[in-house]
Structure formats: structure tokens, C-alpha cells
Chains A and B, each alone.
Chain A
Amino acid sequence: MQPTMHATRRRTNFGSVGFVYCIAVVVVALASVNRPNNLLVWIFAAMLVALLVSGVVSGSTLMRLRAQRIEPRRARVGELLVIRYTLENKARFMPAFDLHVEERSLPVGLAAAGDAWVLHCGPGDSVHAESVLRPSRRGLHRLPTFEVWSSFPFGLLRKRLIFERPSDVLVEPEIVPLMPNLLSRVARGGLMGGVRASVEVGGGEDFFGVREYRSGDSIRNIAWKRLAGTDQLATIERSRAVPPRVRVVLDLRRATAALRVASGVDPRALEEDAITLAASLMALADRQGDEFGLTVLGLEVAAIPLRRGHFHRAKVLAALAAIDLDQPRDGTASLRESAERATILFVHPDRADTSVAPSVGWNFTASQLPSLRLPLEPRGRA
């Protein structure tokens, strides 16, 4: 766990309640001067002192407060990003109440969706708070500053502790639920990417070989014919089944401005849709147990080999998240021939382009994303 930090700056502001309160103080002051009434004078004095006490109490509650943002790992467009904070009250006697934590100067693509609030942090206590952001744009975003503020005790003054603690958060592209039979149509029955036998022993269905019987082998796997011929027990071994393989090739060879789109269509949005479609295809493959890999054509992104699993998926999505569409494109890039046995899915931002590679593959365009999307089930009434 990272240690908590001192505030970089401290600020005090008047809130709307404080403004109204000041007007009330002035009114009572005028009344007490206009009508010599010592009770009103006392009330005026109490109101004035309350303003002072408000500043002192809120200042002293935040005086020895330390805070730290717990670095958020990943985020994804369309999903809420929860950011956690550690608040530590180093004071010996003074508890802190009503602590709000907010991210300041949020980049475009990250919007606040829920405040972090802590009722109480006693002296010597350490508590956690969570704020919620809503990412709306893929990429690497920087959270420069966060602040802890409190308007306790009366809401008249807002004391703020500003922590300049930049941290980066990688926002992955949105994963759209696609039709579940999409990959089985293009991959399982495909020419190169279907289920096949491995060269290793496993629990599949294909015949791998025969070996001597060992104690504990299943009676189902006994080679009866061989027993009949040689009068020796032998066991049939099966080969390991290898799942279908899918390689997603994202075609970003054309510069954004050179995309062939109808007027009125934002080409950058199409590129983003293409990335979303690529991510969604790989997420679907991962969900169905297929092996998948990624190749981005036109940008300096290393090709990711075919694998499967949680970490592989995270790696692929991170690669997609980190794509910088403002980089210069390599229009001559193409998919090189390899011995890799996999179904190739080409994703184009604008139109299908068969000149990408000599291999046979399936072409998708960004504009197909809505049609490939799994229709949302209407919510029933509770």
C-alpha cells in the first residue's frame, strides 16, 4: 500500500450557504443597530463567532489529514471506474467529519459519476473512500489532482486540501456483446481455425496411441482388440483437443482523413468503432474458449500471438487501448504469410479491402457493429 501524502495546497472558499448566512448576519446587525436591543446584539455576536468557529473547526479537522489515491488499474468504456482513496487522520485529538473526495481537472473522456464521501475519520484512524468515474473514451488518461474538502461544521466555509498526485489510467475500448454464434459460424466450420487434434496427449476424442496398461487406467480405454490378439492389457491414449483459433486483424493503414466514408460521417468515430468491434470479437472468442491474437496493420503495434486466458485478454485489450490514432500510418503494411493455423477476421474502419493479405479471411467493417450486436433484452417490471 502506498503511504498517504501531505496536501500540496490548502484553500478556503465560501459556499452558497455561507453567502446566505453572511446576508443574515448583516440583517441581524442592522436590526440590532436600528433597534437597540441587547438580545439581538448577542445573537449577532453569536452568529459572527459561529462563522469564526466554523473556519477554525473545519481547518483543524483537515489540518493533519493525509490522503492517497489507490492507483486504479484498468477501466473500460461503458463501465464505471471506481477509484479508491486512503484517508489518514494524523491528529491526536481532533476527528474529521464530512470528508468529500473529488478528482479535479478530469481529462476529456472521464466524467464524475459519484462522489466519495466519508462521514468520519477519527484521530489516528485510516479510512477508505470510493469515487466513481464514467469513462467515455478509450486511451491513456491522466488523473492529475484530487482534493479532499469538508464544509463541516456548519456548511458556511469549504476547506479544501489539494493533492497533486498524477496517475495514469488506461481505459480499454468498450466491449459490445456480439451474437454468440458469430464466431462458430466463421471459425469452427472454417477452413483453418476449427477444432483440431494436438500433438500432445490430452483428454480429447481423437486417437493418439496405445501404451501398456497401468494400474488405475479406466476400463473404457482398454484396447480390447489388442488384448485379444496379444493377451496383454493395453490402454488407448487420446490426443488433446485444441480450441479454434482466431486472429483479429485491425486494418488501420489508411489515415483518418483518407477513409472512404460518406459525407457527414465522422471517420475518427468509425475508427473507434472498428477498435471496439475488434475488442468485442476477441472478448467473444475468449468467452467461448477460443484462442485469439491481434494484429494491427498500419501502426507500430507488435502483433500478439494466439493465446487464451485472462492475462492474454488483458494484454490484447491494453494494446487496443493504447492505440494512438494520431500516429502516422503505414499504408503499405500487410499481413505476412505464416504457418499459423487460425481463422483471420479483418476489421476495417470504412470498407472491406481484400488486398490486406493473401490469406482467406472474413471481413468486417465498423459500420456492421450495430448489426452484429446482441439485441438487448427488454427489462421486465419488478
Chain B
Amino acid sequence: MTLLRQYRIAAFLLVLLSIAAFAASQKDLLLLVSGGAIAVLSWYVTEGPRGRTLPSLVSNGLILLLLAWTLVSFLSELALTDSTAVLGRFLLWLLVIKLFSVRAAYEDRQRLTLAMMLVVCGCLETVEFIFAALVFLFLGMSIWTAMLWRLHASYEAARESRRRDGSLLPPPLEVSVGRRVVPQFRRVAIASIVAIFAGSVLGFALFPRFGESRGGRTDSESVSGFSDRIDLLANERINESRRELFTLRWIDPTGDALRSNRPIYLRGAVLDRYDPVTHRWEVLRTSNAIRAMRTPRDSKFVALGPGIPDTTGGVWTAEITMRSLATSVLFTVYAPFAVATDESYSVAFDPATLLLRDVGTDHVGRYWWYALRVQPQPSPQMMETLQGSVDSPRSDISFPVAGLEPIAQKILAEANLAGLPTAQDARTDPTLRWMRNRETARAIAGWMRSGRFQYTTDLTEFRVEPGEDPIVAFLERNRFGHCEYFASGLIAVLRTLGIESRLVTGFVAIEYDDSLEQYIVRESNAHAWVEVRTGDHQWTAFDPTPEDSLVQISERNRSFVDNFRWIYDRVEFLWNSRVVAYDSAAQATIADRVQSEWRSAARNGYDSLRAQMRAMVERFSLGRAALYWFAAIALAVLAAMAAWFVAHRHLLKTQVRAGLRSLPRQEAKAIARDVGFFADALELLERRGLSKPASTTPMQHVATVAAHAPSAGVEFARLVERFYQVRYGGHRLSVRDREETRDAMERLKSALATGR
């Protein structure tokens, strides 16, 4: 296939890639299918047997219509955040229209520019791995296509310049002699692509960054399904992703990994503030007792607070191995006492919420593995030691939504709670209070799980009346929703009844792999539940969401593809943790590491050298003059190396000039040692503008030299004779021969200088 034909195909593939990449950035399958199908159709229409293109009038009309449609859609939405998406769609359809245009050089330029702009639009929208993979493919392809475009454009320009005269043929596309064009082009193109990618890695690493990578954090939170914020007005259908985020090994105090008979809740965020205006749950950041600690590098456990007794015995261990989630949150099982990580990290522990967060400033990317020592049912003394005085019970419990009191009383009545202490008794007696809290929460959660509410992730039918709170709507009218609604409803009722509670988000581990003896946590296992205060330093988890629904979610959409997802997830995790989350901290870490590695390598080398020198001084009893001896030896070695390098280079040069490369290596080296004079003569002639063409024999070249300077021709003829004797006659130069050739060279020099 000629390069001309390759260019057409490469340019078309590049356009297809840009369409696919933008559709991936928008996660719009319809856009991919429709845009891609029309683009493929354009290939058949324009490059097919008939080769038809759209008249410019029609294509311009279509472009005007597209522009009008884009303006209308932009003005109707009036959302600046979507402006990139609107622009991208405009570019995509403009590109598709341009595919049906004539095949002119300026149209090609426009198409390639549009494709590049489309990809940049996609980059402004997302940094997801699948999109990034397409972008990298696009980059490689665009380098290849740009090189082909350069050749194609030059060919067209040269042909066009000759067409004006009409009397000459276009220049040849393929040369008639020499090695093949396409393989050599391929080699140059691949080398360029590799160089650009290698250089771009360096540029990416060195690009100045200020602060933490927002892209990484946003991305990690959006892809995981886990969030430290809940929006109850987002009426949408949640896709249940099967992406494998991490694995959990649950180890009992004896050291055996086992499967718990209940789901394991992995806490990620504690949301304790509900905003009745925005209908959002948020983190109330009031704790200022955050403890920062540094974990050791060798996976040893470090206690999460001072005064915590030995945590090696009688506690459970949760080992978490990340697969595709890059986040700063360390998901914990209630209640953690110690943490261990694969590398040394800076970890912040909030004693009020018992949450852990990686605040590392000296690591690259995110962690791979960590383990927690936990006590599922800790003693009050232990919790007091762990938390201190930061988590004291509150007395003013309420929920900022009007109209919940009758609903709570109604539910309380339906839950059939009998024998509970009264609110008055609970206020005076803490034991009764904690019992009341526990029993009330258990009863209401059980009531919610009893089939009165329907679990669904499709909230498109969830209607909220004007002025109505979504939680009220959930409890009173709709009675369907997902875990966030169940948890919000339970908290609303409990707080209305004066029971202190909070919403927790994270993951629930249900799916257990018996062969690996570990839980597999997927994106669809993101969950929200409720914690109720059941002691001065005690919180108990209650999950109002039907457990069957959680299992169903876990089992739903299960396919054999899940067995291989871990491969893709692993790569995606690498992308998220090493690239997307790469920020100034990671940059500083790399710089420190490189610096320290170099420094230590230099120091080690220096120490090793000194040790060797000392050993030699002692062995040979060199005494104080040892330094001079070593310096002399080093200089001699350096000089020998330099001499060898120069001689070797000269030998290679001689082989090339004398055309000895086709001979066996040893034979070529042996002859090259004797025909150095011939190479020198050729070099001398070349400097005088008499270089020997490759197609000319040395003896033929004598005539050229003689025409320039007759005496030089005579001397050069002598040297050529001698060269022939060595090269083809098997002659070896004697000392006398060498002197003669040296004299002939001198005469050649002077003859060329005088021009005689």
C-alpha cells in the first residue's frame, strides 16, 4: 500500500477515534453509534466506487442548521458547566458533515483540526481511564497521520505546481531505486511516537503543579460510588457498576480468614448535618482533635491514639487491598484501634468519627494495601481511651424538617414498641437512655425493612411536591428509594424522637470469594446506613435497608466478565492512582527520591572506591605516595580508553569509506588496518569538493581528480593501485609500503593545494 493510500485510511481512523473518545467522555452510547455509523457511511460514499461528495451549498446549509441548533440548545439549557459538552457535540457533527466534503488539502486540515479540538473538549469533561486510553491511541495515531499528511500535502502541492504548466508529469511517489519507502517510513514514525511518549512522560512528571490534584480527587470520588455528600433531590437512575474496587480479608483473633455471617460495613464518611434547603447531607467538620501519625514502612501496626493497650491479641483484622479505587479515605470497620500500611504514609485519625484519611505529602499516588486492627464490640474504657473527650453525648437532639413529629409518632405506634423506658426516665438514667435508643432504632429499622418500603435505584418516578422535603415524601407517600433514603428516613424519625444518630456512607462487603478467602467489594456495594449512640463512647450501626436488596444488588448483573474485570480494574486503578492523582506532593516526593537515590549511589560509590584504595594501599604497601600512583593509573586507563575509542572509530570509518562492511567482520578489520591511507585520501578529496560518488569505482574517480588537478590524479592513482592490491590481491603492507603511501599522501595534499 502506498503512503498516499495509507494517509486516507489513517486520517479516517483518526476521525473515528476522536468521535469514539468524545462519546466515551460523554458516556453516550447513542452518540457513539450514530456519529460512528454516519462517519463510516461517509467512507463508503466518498471513497467508494462512485466517490460522491456533498455539494458545498448543501454542506454549508447543514453547518448553518447545526450552528442554529447548537445555539438554541445552549440558550435553552443556560448551564455554563455544560458548555464544553455542547461545544463538543457541535464539533462532532461538524466533523461528520465535513467527512462528506470534497477531498481537498484544506478540508483535510480542517478535519484533523476538528478531530483534535474534539478530543480536547473530551479532556475538559473527564479523565476516566477508558477515555484516556482512547486519547493515547488518538495521540499515537495523530503522530502517524501528521507525518503522512506532511508527505501527502507536499505531493499535492508539487503536483499542483506542475499542473499549472500542464506539460510535465507529476513527481514520482515512489523512487525507482533504493530501499523500500514504507518500511523506512514506519521505522521513523514508530521511533517518533516512542520518543514523543517517553518525552511526554517526563514533561508530565516535571510540569509545575500547585496544590493537590483536584482532578484526581474528584475523579476518585465520582467513580467509586462513595461520596461524603448526599443529595436527595437527584432524581436519576443509578447504574449498578460491577467494577471491582478493593478486596477485604476479614481475619479473626486466631489469625484465620473467614466469612462473617453478617455484612461487614466499611465506614468512609460520617454525615451528621442535614440541610433542609438544599436537601443535602454533609459532614459537620467541628472536630479539631485530629491525630496525625506516620505509619512505618514495614507493614507494622501503629496505634491510633496514646495509651491504647496492646492491640495484637483478641482483636479482629481487616486487610484491604486496593484494585481500582484511588481515594484518600481509608475505609474502616467499627471500631479501629491500629493501622498498618504497605508503605510509610501520613494518616489522620478523627477520634470523633473514628475515620481515617490519608494526608500524605510524601508519596506517589495512593496506597495499595492497608490493614486495620478492630474491635467490633469495644469496651467503654477502650473507647474512652481511643476517643478522649471529643465525642460526648448531646442533649439538644432535633431534626430541621417540619412535619415529622406526627409521622414519627405514627411509625412508633406501628412499630409496636412496648416496655420502653419513657423519655423522662431516659433523661435521668443514662443506662435506660442507651437502652431506649438501641431498642427504638432496632424497632424502627426493622419496621422499615418489613416490606412497607420498596428498595429501588430508579428514582425517576420519585416525585416531591413543592415545599415538601424528600424525606417526608419518602416516609409518607412514595415509600420507595435506595439506601440513602432509607437511612435518611430512619435518622429523621430517630432525631425527631430525641435519639442521637448519624448517617454513615461507605461500602458493605457481601460478596465472598471462597477460593481467595476474601470479600470482593464492587462499586455497586456503595452504601449508606445509620449509627445510633448507645453509650457515652458507643455507637451502634443500624441498617434500615432490606438486606435482601443488598444481596440482590450484589448478585444482579453478574456475568462471566466479572471474572476478568480485575485486569481492567487494576489498570484503571494504576491510572487513577498514578496519573490522575499525581499532584505537587507526588512531584516533590519523586524529586526527593531521585535526589536521595543519586546521593546515596554517589556516596556508596565513593565509599566503595575508598575501601578498595585502602585495601590496595595495605596490600602493596604503597604508603603516602599511593595517591599519586592511583592518579597515574587512572590517567593511563583514561588515556588508553580514549585512544582505543579513537582508533576504533577510525577503523569503523575506514571500513565504511573503503566499502568493507559487506565482508566478514574479522576480514574487514584486518583489511581496514592496512587501507587507512585510502580512507584518508577520500576524506581529503571530499574536503576539496571531490567526493567520490558511491556508484563510481576508485579508478573511475581518478579521472575526476585528474581533471581537477593532473598531479593529484597521478598520486591518487598510485594510492588506488595500492588499495586494490590490499583489498583484492591479499597484499599486506610492509613498513616500506607504508612509508610510500605516506609520501604519496603528502604529495596528493600539496598537489590539491596548488591545483596542479
Which residues in A have some Cβ–Cβ distance to B below 8 Å? 1, 3-5, 24, 28, 31-32, 35-46, 48-50, 52-53, 56-57, 66, 80, 82, 88, 92, 94-95, 97-98, 100, 113-127, 129-130, 132, 134, 151-155
Q: Judging by beta carbons under 8 Å apart, are A153 and B154 in contact?
A: no
Q: What are 12 A-to-B residue pairs whose CB atoms are below 8 Å?
A: A38-B580, A40-B123, A46-B139, A49-B199, A57-B192, A94-B188, A95-B179, A95-B188, A118-B175, A125-B178, A125-B179, A126-B695
Q: Which of B131, B165, B203, B214 is close to A49, meaning CB atoms less than 8 Å apart?
A: B203
> Which chain A positions have C-beta within 8 A of B155?
117, 119
Complex Cα spacing A151 to B3, Å: 17
> Which chain B positions have C-beta within 8 A of A28?
120
Interface of chain B residues 1 through 25 with chain A (CB within 8 A): 3
B119-154 interface mask toward A, CB cutoff 8 Å, 1 = contact, 0 = none? 110011001000110010001000100110111011
Cβ-closest chain A residue relative to B193: A53
Complex Cα spacing A98 to B189, Å: 14
> Which chain B positions have C-beta within 8 A of A88?
693-694
Q: Judging by beta carbons under 8 Å apart, are B207 and A41 in contact?
A: yes
> Which chain B positions have C-beta within 8 A of A44?
203, 207
Q: Which of A3, A43, A154 is close to B123, meaning CB atoms less than 8 Å apart?
A: A43
Q: Judging by beta carbons under 8 Å apart, are B691 and A38 in contact?
A: no
Report whether over half of chain B's contact residues are helix, strand or loop; otherwise say mixed.
helix
A-B interface, 8 closest residue pairs, ranked by CB to CB distance from nearest: A45-B203, A49-B199, A125-B178, A117-B158, A46-B200, A45-B200, A122-B178, A95-B184
Q: Judging by beta carbons under 8 Å apart, are B146 and A153 in contact?
A: yes
What is the distance, in angstroms, from A21's C-beta to the closest C-beta of chain B? 10
Cβ-closest chain A residue relative to B578: A38
> Which chain A positions have C-beta within 8 A of B146?
153-155
What is the distance, in angstroms, from B746's C-beta to the closest C-beta of chain A? 23
What is the distance, in angstroms, from A125's C-beta to the closest C-beta of chain B? 4
Q: Does B285 contact A (CB under 8 A)?
A: no
> Which chain A positions have C-beta within 8 A of B200?
42, 45-46, 48-49
Given A38-B204, A80-B167, A125-B177: A98 and B151 within 8 A (CB)? yes
Q: Which of B165, B178, B185 is close to A132, meaning CB atoms less than 8 Å apart?
A: B165
Complex Cα spacing A132 to B170, Å: 12
B565-592 interface mask toward A, CB cutoff 8 Å, 1 = contact, 0 = none? 0000000000000011010000000000
Q: Judging by beta carbons under 8 Å apart, are B693 and A113 in contact?
A: no
> Which chain B positions have C-beta within 8 A of A41?
204, 207, 209
What is the distance, in angstroms, from B516's C-beta to the closest C-beta of chain A? 33
Complex Cα spacing A347 to B181, Å: 57
Q: Judging by beta carbons under 8 Å apart, are B204 and A66 in contact?
A: no
Cβ-closest chain B residue relative to A28: B120
Count of chain A to chain B residue pairs whose CB atoms are closer than 8 Å in the complex: 199
Q: Does B660 contact A (CB under 8 A)?
A: no
Q: Does B35 contact A (CB under 8 A)?
A: no
What is the distance, in angstroms, from B717's C-beta to the closest C-beta of chain A? 18
Q: A37-B127, A122-B175 are in contact. List 7 more A-B contacts (CB 8 A).
A: A40-B123, A49-B195, A50-B196, A53-B199, A132-B168, A134-B165, A154-B146
> Which chain A positions have C-beta within 8 A of B175?
118-122, 125, 127
What is the distance, in angstroms, from A149's C-beta to the closest C-beta of chain B? 11
> Which chain B positions have C-beta within 8 A of A125?
175, 177-179
Q: Which of A46, A116, A132 is close to B196, meaning CB atoms less than 8 Å apart?
A: A46
Q: Judging by beta carbons under 8 Å apart, are A38 and B216 in contact?
A: yes
Q: Judging by beta carbons under 8 Å apart, are A153 and B123 in contact?
A: no
Cβ-closest chain A residue relative to B149: A155
Q: Judging by beta carbons under 8 Å apart, are B691 and A39 in contact?
A: no
> Which chain B positions have C-beta within 8 A of A122?
175, 178-179, 181, 184
What is the distance, in angstroms, from B219's C-beta to the closest C-beta of chain A? 9
Given A45-B204, A119-B151, A120-B181: A35 and B164 within 8 A (CB)? no
Cβ-closest chain B residue relative to A52: B199
> Which chain B positions have C-beta within 8 A of A48?
199-200, 203
Complex Cα spacing A39 to B213, Å: 12
Q: Judging by beta carbons under 8 Å apart, are A97 and B188 in contact?
A: yes
> Which chain B positions have C-beta within 8 A of A35?
124, 215
Complex Cα spacing A98 to B580, Å: 39
What is the distance, in angstroms, from B753's C-beta to the closest C-beta of chain A? 19
> Which chain A positions have C-beta within 8 A of B110?
none
B155-169 interface mask toward A, CB cutoff 8 Å, 1 = contact, 0 = none? 101100110110110
Cβ-closest chain A residue relative to B139: A46
Cβ-closest chain B residue relative to A114: B162
Q: Which of B127, B151, B174, B689 is close to A152, meaning CB atoms less than 8 Å apart?
A: B151
Complex Cα spacing A134 to B124, Å: 53
Given A46-B139, A46-B200: A3 and B172 within 8 A (CB)? no
Q: Judging by beta carbons under 8 Å apart, are A126 and B171 in contact?
A: no
> Which chain B positions have C-beta within 8 A of A80?
165, 167-168
> Which chain B positions have C-beta within 8 A of A151?
150, 154
> Which chain B positions have C-beta within 8 A of A95?
179, 184-185, 188
Interface of chain B residues 200 through 225 with chain A (CB within 8 A): 200-204, 207, 209, 211, 213-216
Q: Does B294 contact A (CB under 8 A)?
A: no
Q: Judging by beta carbons under 8 Å apart, are B151 and A115 in contact?
A: no
Q: Judging by beta carbons under 8 Å apart, are B207 and A155 in contact?
A: no
Complex Cα spacing A151 to B150, Å: 8
